[in-house]
């Protein structure tokens, strides 16, 4: 399996746990945790005790990043509609945009992560030139947190 760049890797299986209408099941979370554990063990075998640099060109690093992203996305739901936003016009526009698939709001864990970052760190991810979405900023945060060993913060 040939992998070019992290940004071009698309997960093969599309789990129903990513949709906002599905309910997170214990089997799904156990499966995700097992995938994460396996990918961590693969990276430890590959890079443990070596001075070799782990890059996004290694399949075990890609698998680890995808597993972390899946775990962080598991169970996320769309933002609830606030009472002030329940006007008839708002409801009609939501129905039309959902019907025509105009609503491209992908679920992202970035809003949660950004609440726990310093002002400098938020700015660092917001000025990245090749990242335009919250999903991209979340992926960039995962890669940098692994590289800088700051995931335990």
pLDDT at 37: 95
Determine whether 40 is exposed, middle or buried from the number of CB atoms within 10 Å of its CB (0-12, 13-18, 19+).
Answer: middle
Q: Which domain holds residue 124?
A: 106-153
- How many other CB atoms sit within 10 Å of the CB of residue 11? 12
Residue 68 placed within a domain: yes
Greatest extent of the chain over all pairs of C-alpha atoms, in Å: 61
Number of structural domains in the chain: 2
How far is CA 73 from each of CA 51, 78, 95, 120, rounded to the nearest angstrom? 32, 11, 25, 24
pLDDT at 64: 92
40-72 confidence digits (pLDDT tens)? 999 888 888 777 777 888 899 999 999 999 999
79-106 confidence digits (pLDDT tens)? 655 555 567 776 776 677 666 655 555 6
Residue 43 placed within a domain: yes
Last residue of one domain, picked from the residues 58, 77, 96: 77
Residues 73 and 112 in one domain: no
pLDDT at 132: 86
Residues 70 and 116 in one domain: no
Determine whether 139 is exposed, middle or buried from the number of CB atoms within 10 Å of its CB (0-12, 13-18, 19+).
Answer: buried
13-47 confidence digits (pLDDT tens)? 444 444 444 455 778 889 999 999 999 999 888 88
DSSP character string of 44-93: HHHHTT--PPP-TTSHHHHHHHHHHHHHHHTT--PPPPPGGG--HHHHHH
pTM exceeds cut of 0.85: no
100-137 confidence digits (pLDDT tens)? 655 555 678 999 999 999 999 999 999 998 988 888 89
Last residue of one domain, picked from the residues 77, 95, 116: 77
Residue 13 placed within a domain: no
Residue 134 placed within a domain: yes
Residue 46 placed within a domain: yes
Residues 72 and 115 in one domain: no
């Amino acid at each position: 399996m040939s992998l070019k760049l992290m940004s071009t890797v698309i997960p093969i299986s599309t789990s129903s746990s990513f949709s906002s209408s599905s309910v997170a099941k214990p089997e799904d979370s156990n499966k995700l945790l097992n995938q994460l554990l396996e990918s961590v063990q693969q990276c430890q075998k590959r890079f443990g005790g070596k001075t070799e640099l782990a890059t996004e060109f290694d399949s075990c690093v890609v698998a680890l990043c995808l597993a972390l992203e899946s775990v962080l996305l598991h169970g996320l739901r769309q933002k609830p509609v606030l009472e002030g936003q329940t006007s008839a016009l708002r409801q009609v526009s939501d129905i039309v945009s959902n019907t025509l698939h105009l609503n491209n709001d992908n679920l992202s864990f970035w809003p949660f992560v950004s609440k726990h970052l310093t002002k400098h760190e938020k700015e660092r991810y917001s000025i990245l030139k090749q990242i335009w979405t919250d999903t991209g900023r979340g992926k960039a945060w995962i890669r940098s947190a692994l590289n800088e060993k700051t995931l335990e913060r």
